[in-house]
Amino acid sequence: MLDFDRRYIWHPYTSINNPLPVYPVESAAGVRIRLMDGRELIDGMASWWSVIHGYSHPVLTRALQDQAGRLSHVMFGGLTHQPAVELARLLVDVLPDGLNRVFLSDSGSVAVEVAMKMALQYWQALGRPAKNRFLTLRSGYHGDTFHAMSVCDPVTGMHHVFAGNLPLYLFADRPEVGFHDQWDEADIASFAGLIEGHHRELGAVILEPIVQGAGGMRFYHPEYLRRVRSLCDRYDVLLIADEIATGFGRSGRLFACEHAGISPDIICVGKALTGGTMTLAATVATEKVGDGISGGDPGVFMHGPTFMANPLACSVAVASVNLLLASDWQARIATIEGQLEAGLSPCREMAHVREVRVLGAIGVVELRNPVNMERIQAAFVKRGVWVRPFGRLVYLMPPYCMEGADLATLTSAVVAVIDGEKEV
Ligand SMILES: *Cc1c(COP(=O)(O)O)cnc(C)c1O
């Protein structure tokens, strides 16, 4: 099996001819991933932010099974169904104020494409087609499809590979004032200068609120986001909040925008939406955006994927969001936050560590130099944990249900493995 995988299958961001090793998984339950050789790994990644309730959660499995018995899929053109309606009702209820025009799609990157198309159609419909560019932040990540790539960090993102095929958008300096730091007015200067100078050609600002994920795992100050919101209002530019990573509690609030008390004009959610069981995402706009698009020419929103609003995905999303809301998730995340803080703090003393930062159920150790992925991955597996660093970043974002003892095993593995990195 591994030999076939090696020769024929692409994994994310890998070479087909010289792939890094992969570990075959037999099953997963709770916070443990079971490999085919019988070893069990405590999961520190929640499968890239998504598995918030742990693996094989009985409530989610039952929702999938029940729905599969009734309706696994049906086209959404001209038809509708209870799971989509229930999910939309739930999203409108829990999302920040004013977001109530729901578009369901199949992945985060598509949700970002949809948001950017909404912004373009909105200004076209209003008779201002020149407002067709985007402003974003350096160190951001918004997905791997073309327009999403165009707003990923131009240095660490995909720009150098696809330069010439991507529209050139505007990048403000990344926020430097950390979430817990003292706010400094200078932090917003780059963004403010760009929006002031270019608002006539800007359709929207797109950013990850508070937590910049795959572009650098950084947490910035809520005041930055408040200032962005008010500058967007002042200059008549839409604000798109990409909460695909942060949505559903990860940062300590249900949505990261809540740290700043703001609402965007369009929000994207995905990843944890189905508790990591199915691929599903949503782009939700305000009535203003919906009215704008519908009021102009062609009067319809020009997008409609084959698997839009897949009933299996919608029903398990309803189950997952309800499971979260019925749990004591704030207390769980506060506990995890405290334990990540305490457990990772020994890394602060290490000379080869640049910074340790924790927010909600996210713990990040930033090293001074990039890690050797193959070696560090093997070192973690040997210690019975699943941690997947990238570049200079070793980070944890466990399922919310992780108990103290397992989390302690995870953080001490990180401390030990990073300590081992200093000699190499
Ligand atoms: C993961 C991610 C995406 C892309 O989602 P996919 O489901 O991988 O296409 C977009 N934006 C953010 C902030 C993400 O973390």
Going from the N-terminus, what domains does the chain have, and what CATH number goes with each? 2-56+328-421 (3.90.1150.10), 62-326 (3.40.640.10)
pLDDT at 164: 87
Q: Which two tokens stand for residue 391?
A: 């570049």
- Cβ(268)–Cβ(115) below 8 Å: yes
> Cis ω on the peptide bond leading into residue 298 (within 30° of 0)?
yes
Residue 267 has φ and ψ, to the nearest 5°, of -125, 145
pTM: 0.98
CA 171 – CA 198 distance, rounded (Å) = 12
210 lines ligand 1 (CB under 6 A): no
Nearest C-alpha neighbor of 232 from the set 207, 215, 249: 207
242 lines ligand 1 (CB under 6 A): yes
Q: Can you say how many angstroms the Cα of residue 355 is from the centroid of all Cα atoms in its chain?
A: 22
288 is catalytic: no
Q: How far away, in angstroms, is 143 Cα from ligand 1 center?
A: 5
State the residue for tokens 């782009």.
283
271 is catalytic: yes
Q: Are strands 393-396 and 32-35 parallel, antiparallel or unpaired?
A: unpaired
216 lines ligand 1 (CB under 6 A): no
Q: Of 153, 242, 265, 406, which residue is the catalytic one? A: 242
8 is catalytic: no
For residue 148, the ligand 1 atom closest to its alpha carbon is 10
131 is catalytic: no
224 lines ligand 1 (CB under 6 A): no
- Cβ(246)–Cβ(271) below 8 Å: no
- Cβ(194)–Cβ(170) below 8 Å: yes
Q: Which two tokens stand for residue 278?
A: 């199915």
pLDDT at 272: 98
> Rounded to whole angstroms, what are the CA distances from 234 to 23, 128, 287?
51, 17, 19
pLDDT at 424: 61
CA 278 – CA 311 distance, rounded (Å) = 11
- Cβ(111)–Cβ(270) below 8 Å: yes
pLDDT of the chain along its 424 residues, tens only? 999 999 999 999 999 999 889 999 999 999 999 999 999 999 999 999 999 999 999 999 999 999 999 999 999 999 999 999 999 999 999 999 999 999 999 999 999 999 999 999 999 999 999 999 999 999 999 999 999 999 999 988 877 889 889 999 999 999 999 999 999 999 999 999 999 999 999 999 999 999 999 999 999 999 999 999 999 999 999 999 999 999 999 999 999 999 999 999 999 999 999 999 999 999 999 999 999 999 998 999 999 999 999 999 999 999 999 999 999 999 999 999 999 999 999 999 999 999 999 999 999 999 999 999 889 999 999 999 999 999 999 999 999 999 999 999 999 999 999 999 887 6
Rg of the chain taking only CA atoms, in angstroms: 21
Q: How far away, in angstroms, is 282 Cα from ligand 1 center?
A: 12
- Cβ(385)–Cβ(19) below 8 Å: no
- Cβ(218)–Cβ(180) below 8 Å: no
